[in-house]
Amino acid sequence: MSNDVSFLDLKSGYLELRDEIDDAMRRVAESGWYIGGPETKRFERDFAAYCEARHCVGVGNGLDALHLVLKAMDVGPGDEVIVASNTFIATLLAVSMVGATPVLVEPDPATHNLDPRLVEAAITLRTKVILPTHLYGQPADLDPILDIARAHGLLVLEDAAQAHGARYKGRPIGAHGHAVAWSFYPGKNLGALGDGGAVTTDDSAIADRVRMLGNYGSQQKYVNAVRGVNSRLDPLQAAILAVKLRHLDRWTAHRRHIAAFYLDRLAGTALVLPHVPNWAEPAWHLFVVQTPERNAMMAMLAERGVQTLVHYPIPPHRQQAYADLGLGKGTFPIAERLADTVLSLPIGPHLSMEQAERVAAAVRAASPS
């Protein structure tokens, strides 16, 4: 057997729970309910309870969750939505999908998350929504963002695609803002065996509108109030997610254990390690270090059999897809510097402590101290 440590081990999540997941899949196959129905309802109820949110609406994927909430919030052409300059491209794509304009604001370099101190200066008469991402599973500093939103009459939509199980000031991510968008893409902390997503919120009007918009704009069969889309969480994925949700806290605890281990073992190296504010309980979707020698370090780790990845090598404003924003190099220096220096180490519920030690030893050997 190879001694290599791969970045992500997706199959173990299934193998560990094989009997429970196989039972769930068979139950759906034998039920005759293949869209909506009791399995989807049950997962929505379970996930809302887990997030301490009043409502959960299953949708097709995380991008749709963001897009449908923005549509439900009546965001459209001429409107502006504030997003972090170092987020994953999907956060911006959702804004573009409703015809609105993403307005980028730099992250706090210590936390990688939208810097609340810079938000106010980005607000214009066209701003409708502030859309912070809980990047890498680290909760964004929500209270100051919510205060600014309240003062300016704006809505807050959280991109929690990487933050299942994270807590902000003791309360789970799920309904701090007006709505929260989730992804169940297989590699996320709570991942389906395919695509999936959800919206959680305490606002029943937003929940109802998201559900209607994801179902052709219809609440009553063959009666269409608005032009919607087809984006639903299918019962097969919902049944699998309900099984995995019961194990999520244990998996998150293991991620925290590895993160604490890395923080301890890598202290004293020249690497910049993740900073965790005292109000944050991260879900550790990713463990991201920074080094100016990122590409060399990545190559040295690969030689030692440790696979690492970069989240993300090109910031959204430098992507060809957003060339029309006309934001040249140097416009967002913090996002650009992060893109050049961040490196994600292997972490996950099925990474053994022995593997974590191999990673830590390889990183120590490869880093100038």
> Can you give the binding site for ligand PLP, defined by CB under 6 A?
61-63, 87-88, 90-91, 133, 159, 161-162, 183, 185, 195, 197
Least Å from the CB of residue 87 to ligand PLP? 6
Q: Give the angle 262-263-264 at the CA atoms, nearest 5°.
A: 90
Which one-letter DSSP state was computed for residue 139?
A: P
For residues 192 and 150, what is the distance between their CA atoms, to the nearest angstrom? Answer: 35
In whole angstroms, how close is the CB of 189 to ligand PLP at the nearest point?
10
Q: Whose Cβ is closer to ligand PLP: residue 132's or residue 367's? A: 132
Q: Which is nearer to ligand PLP, 297 or 348 (CB)?
A: 348
Q: Name the residue nearer to ligand PLP (CB basis): 189 or 355.
A: 189
CB of 342 to ligand PLP, least distance (A): 14
**Nearer to ligand PLP among residue 106 and residue 366 (C-beta):** 106
Q: List the one residue out of 80, 82, 87, 130 whose CA is nearest residue 334.
A: 87
Q: How far is the CB of 133 from ligand PLP (least distance, A)?
A: 5
Least distance to ligand PLP, CB of residue 182, Å: 8
Q: Tell me the pairing of strands 127-131 and 155-159.
A: parallel
Number of Cβ atoms within 10 Å of the Cβ of 75: 23
- Give yes or no for a contact between 276 and 138, defined as CB atoms under 8 angstroms apart: yes
Instruction: From 120, 212, 197, select the one nearest 162 (Cα to Cα).
Output: 197
Query: How far apart are alpha carbons 104 and 115 in whole angstroms?
Result: 11
Least Cα distance to 3 among 303, 318, 206 occurs for: 303
> Whole-angstrom Cα distance, residue 42 to residue 248?
17
Residue 127, H or E segment: strand 127-131
Which of 68, 103 has the CB closer to ligand PLP?
A: 68
Residue type, 243: V
Ranked by CB distance to ligand PLP, the top (closest) residue is 62
By beta-carbon proximity to ligand PLP, the closer residue of 87 and 308 is: 87
Output 129 or 161, the one with its CB closest to ligand PLP. 161
Report the nearest approach of ligand PLP to the CB of residue 145 (Å): 16
Q: By C-beta, is 133 or 291 nearer to ligand PLP?
A: 133
Provide, rounded to whole angstroms, the least separation between the CB of residue 4 and ligand PLP: 25
Q: Tell the smallest beta-carbon distance from residue 61 to ligand PLP (Å).
A: 4
Alpha-carbon Rg for the chain, nearest whole angstrom, is 21
Measured CA to CA, the distance from residue 333 to residue 97 in angstroms comes to 26
Minimal distance, residue 14 CB to ligand PLP, in Å: 18
What number of other Cβ atoms are within 10 A of residue 216's Cβ?
Answer: 16
Under 8 Å between Cβ of 96 and 67: no
CB of 321 to ligand PLP, least distance (A): 15
- Give the residue with the Cβ less far from ligand PLP, 115 or 195: 195
Indicate the residue among 91 and 355 with the shorter CB distance to ligand PLP.
Answer: 91
Cβ-based neighbour number of residue 18 at 10 Å: 9
CA nearest neighbour of 159 among 217, 81, 214: 81
Alpha carbon distance 65, 174 (integer Å): 13
HSE at residue 89, side-chain half, CA atoms within 13 A, is 12
